[in-house]
Amino acid sequence: MAIRKPAEAGQKSAAMAELLAGVGMDTTFKSGSIVEGTVSAVKNDDVFTDIGYKSEGVVKLDEFRDPAEAVPGFKFDVMIVSLEDDRTGMLILSKKRADDQIRWKMVQERYTEGCIVNGTIRAKVNGGLIVDIDGVEAFLPGSQLDVSPIRDLTPYIGQTYEFKVIKISNERRNIIISRRELIEGTMAEKKAELLGSLQKGEVRKGKVKNITDFGAFIDLDGIDGLLHITDMSWGRIKHPSEMLKVGQELDVMVLEVDQDRERISLGLKQCSENPWVTIAEQYPKGTRVKGKVVNLAAYGAFVEIAPGIEGLVHISEFSWTKRVARASDMLNQGDEVDVEILSIDSENQKIALGIRQTQANPWDSVQDRYPVGGRVKGKVRNFTTYGAFIELEEGIDGMIHVSDMSWTRKINHPSECLEKGKEVEAIILDVNPKEQRISLGLKQASQDPWADIASKYKVGALVKGKVSKIASFGAFIELEDGVDGLVHISQISDQRVDKVKDALQAGQEVEARVVKVDRGERRIGLSIRAVTMTEDELKALEAEAAAEPAEGEASGLGGSESFGGLGAAFDEAFQNVEWQPGEAN
């Protein structure tokens, strides 16, 4: 920084005298010379001036800063512009040009680029301001007035400041100055001093200078530090503007100081005690508290239970019975809720909360409401490949397995006998509160048709039914009550049948005779060709059936010579296909 040169008034006259000797003031009369003139007369705007030449010259009155000075006998410096005017023959003189040249010589002697000067702002011009420096006009660009952009320059007119000379142009005879460079220089010195004095962990006063999405810049009396959003509060905030505003004064802690990069990290929350240190003592596991929902995510809700302390209620902890897909389906930001402390991880600052734990668990009393063996009604809510879920009450479902849907048919998918949204009646088979499972039976709600099958379908009886399924070994015939019987391929016709589908079609009504009944295995053997049995053959068939009455054992033709081992043929067919009654297309 340049050292300012003194400009005391007492030295000005002597300096001016010295300068006049070097700007052309002599007794030689020539264009461009500066000589002393004396006012001889003033007429209108013309000041007649005697310079000791053969003729007088004229100076315009407006070239005098103070027109009152232009009186006869007043001496001043003038420049000879021309020795003789072509029209009047008089000298052409200029006081202004003489003053400018004298002043510029003085500028060259007194000022250098980089020196510091005092000046008063006189006027506003395009792009900046005009500053008077000891009678010399200098230009102050608007951008050089201060470190921050100034929109309105008018309030600065008439103010006196120190400026730094940043450029002197001899060609244009102008001076460009800057106040901003002085301010920045002072700030840089102050910044370096302050940066060196900062200590990690100390608390400083600051003022909020600027707010961004990620934090706020704090002015520490000459140097800015960054207060990141994560260091503003022990709790959650979405934006720094929730806590701070520009111009706000506050105490902050110095977290880090990077001398090389001149970066300072600050903390606000560190100025207060970390509530997580004693959180486990304040809120033991099982404690119930009131909290406020501060944020919602797809997987749960964040609930503030104390200033700066939040916990997460996962969607699985919302309700004992309701199926919650998203937290927003049950809660809104700002809701007050009762929660229970499930677990605390102070080190990682995590708390698991539960809402359902503050309410009675309906599964605790489910055995009282749904005793095993009881009959219930419910609506079909959903299907799986292995069964159907039946809604018994809000949030309480029972499940009917496909094996418990029909006494007579093999159910491959629950949609074969149930429809979503329809009400069904079922029997409670099992209740497991711990696993939150209720097993239901659909078929158990109706009588098992096989219980009295022997009395309804006696060996030798004629029956009618529809073909429900065709297989390579025979065809299944649906009888009453959904009971199926099997017609072996050998019993379709008296004629040889190579392919069952050539003789029978699905849905075709047929008449057949019962030739085998096995209640234990839930199987009925039928014969279409036996429809035309003679009386004697029918008696023989009935006698054979009566000879093996044991419960659950096969009865029928057995190895009867009249039917060529029909019983064995049926047994072989059943075993080959792992058939269950009712396996229909």
The answer to whether 327 and 299 are in contact (CB under 8 A) is yes
**Segment 503-536, tens digit of pLDDT:** 899 889 999 998 888 877 778 889 998 888 887 7
Instruction: Please list, in sequence order, all residues whose beta carbon lies within 8 angstroms of the beta carbon of residue 255, skipping any fewer than 6 positions away.
Output: 200, 231, 265, 266, 267, 270
DSSP codes joined into one string, 409-466:
S--SSGGGT--TT-EEEEEEEEEETTTTEEEEESGGGS--GGGGHHHHS-TT-EEEEE
Q: Which helix (H) or strand (E) holds 544?
A: helix 535-547
Quick one: pLDDT band at residue 353, thresholds 50, 70, 90?
very high
Please name each of the domains of the chain with its CATH number.
9-106 (2.40.50.140), 111-183 (2.40.50.140), 198-271 (2.40.50.140), 275-351 (2.40.50.140), 362-445 (2.40.50.140), 449-577 (2.40.50.140)
Asked if the model's pLDDT at residue 562 lies above 90, the reply is no
Q: What whole-number distance in Å separates Cα of residue 119 and Cα of residue 442?
A: 103
Q: What percent of the chain has pLDDT over 90?
A: 29
Residue 511: both structure tokens together:
């008449």
pLDDT of residue 532: 83
Q: State how beta strands 509-518 and 484-488 pair.
A: unpaired
Q: What whole-number distance in Å separates Cα of residue 301 and Cα of residue 339?
A: 11
Average pLDDT score over residue span 257-276: 85
Q: Which helix (H) or strand (E) holds 14?
A: helix 9-21
Higher pLDDT, 151 or 557: 151
Q: What whole-number distance in Å separates Cα of residue 362 and Cα of residue 429?
A: 19
Asked if the model's pLDDT at residue 184 lies above 60, the reply is yes
Q: State how beta strands 309-314 and 375-383 pair.
A: unpaired
Question: What Rg value do the Cα atoms of the chain yield, rounded?
Answer: 56
Asked if the model's pLDDT at residue 144 lies above 60, the reply is yes
Cα–Cα distances in angstroms (integers) from residue 112 to residues 108, 121, 174, 253, 509, in the given order: 7, 20, 12, 45, 123
Quick one: pLDDT band at residue 363, thresholds 50, 70, 90?
confident
Query: pTM to 2 decimals?
Result: 0.43
Residue whose structure tokens are 């929902």: 293
Which segment of 20-34, 322-336, 400-414 scores lowest on mean pLDDT? 20-34
Residue 483: both structure tokens together:
């009971």
Over the chain, what is the mean pLDDT?
82
